[in-house]
Amino acid sequence: MTESSPFLRPGLVDLGAESGEDTVVSSASLRARLETIDAQLSQITTVDSGRQRAGLLLSAAEVLLGLEDGDQTWRRAFAAFNLSLELADRELAVQACELLFLANQDDSLAALGQGVWLAVTFPIDPSLSVRMLRHIMEETPDEADGAAIAAASAAYIVDLRAEGRVHNDLSSETLEMLGTVAREHAGVRSQADFDAWVARLELDTPEKFLVRLRNVIDVLVQDQWWFDRDALQAQLPEH
């Protein structure tokens, strides 16, 4: 993961159905969309179309997630993930990891950890990085510090990589994340308590909380790494 000076795919398919009839219509629409994507996939024949294939596989996985087919969501997203590694497309790989996590399969937490590692290590779309870190925040038990570490890391990534209006919007989001964790995990109710909480957990010191984020990731992934981290880090430009 990279460090610097201290700081301080659009949404997935949502059926949004409110009645049984709406659910049937939405499911039929999604299945029709899946057939269209599969037809497009069957027409790809050249090796040079890897990125197009990966994108279609991700689109299919999103539809299957909407259909609540976790097994097939996993299969499509994992195929897209492998392709993204071959293409050295880190952002695509993180999108695939998010779908693998949302598929709610046996190795979904390992997928989340690897997606977060990629999202923090490589300069991808900061909004996607924030979303991945929010997943960790939401998965962390109240008694653990992982949520605070994820929220602080999200704020750091935004400060480091986002600019202009995107920076303003994401900064507001990460501040909300920190506030939520402080209230729900630590019972913080005042600015003084918040400042003390930040200091106690060293959330204003990237060189400290990024190391702890690596530990959180290791707990999620265990020994199930699907890529060589050292080899990928060696591809980062020298500063």
Indicate whether 222 belongs to any domain: yes
Distance CA 100, CA 86 (A): 18
More confident residue, 178 or 17: 178
CA atoms within 13 A on the CB side of 71: 0
CA atoms within 13 A on the CB side of 184: 16
Indicate whether 110 belongs to any domain: yes
Domain enclosing residue 64, as ranges: 20-233
Indicate whether 69 belongs to any domain: yes
Indicate whether 206 belongs to any domain: yes
Q: Which long-range contacts (CB under 8 A, 24 or more apart) does 181-189 make?
A: 181/137, 181/147, 181/148, 181/151, 182/148, 184/142, 185/140, 185/142, 185/143, 185/147, 185/148, 186/148
**Region 55-62 average pLDDT:** 97
Indicate whether 219 belongs to any domain: yes
Q: What is the CATH number of the domain that holds 37?
A: 1.25.40
Q: Are 129 and 119 in contact (CB under 8 A)?
A: yes
Q: For residue range 69-83, what is the model confidence (pLDDT) as tens digits? A: 999 999 999 999 999
Indicate whether 10 belongs to any domain: no
The reported pTM is 0.87
Q: How confident is the model at residue 142 (pLDDT cuts 50, 70, 90)?
A: confident
| Six token digits for residue 153 | 């890391």
Q: For residue range 13-48, what is the model confidence (pLDDT) as tens digits? A: 333 444 555 555 589 999 999 999 999 999 987 766
Indicate whether 1 belongs to any domain: no
Indicate whether 11 belongs to any domain: no
Element housing 12 (H / E)? none
Number of structural domains (the chain) is 1
Q: For residue range 83-106, what is the model confidence (pLDDT) as tens digits? A: 999 999 999 999 999 999 999 999
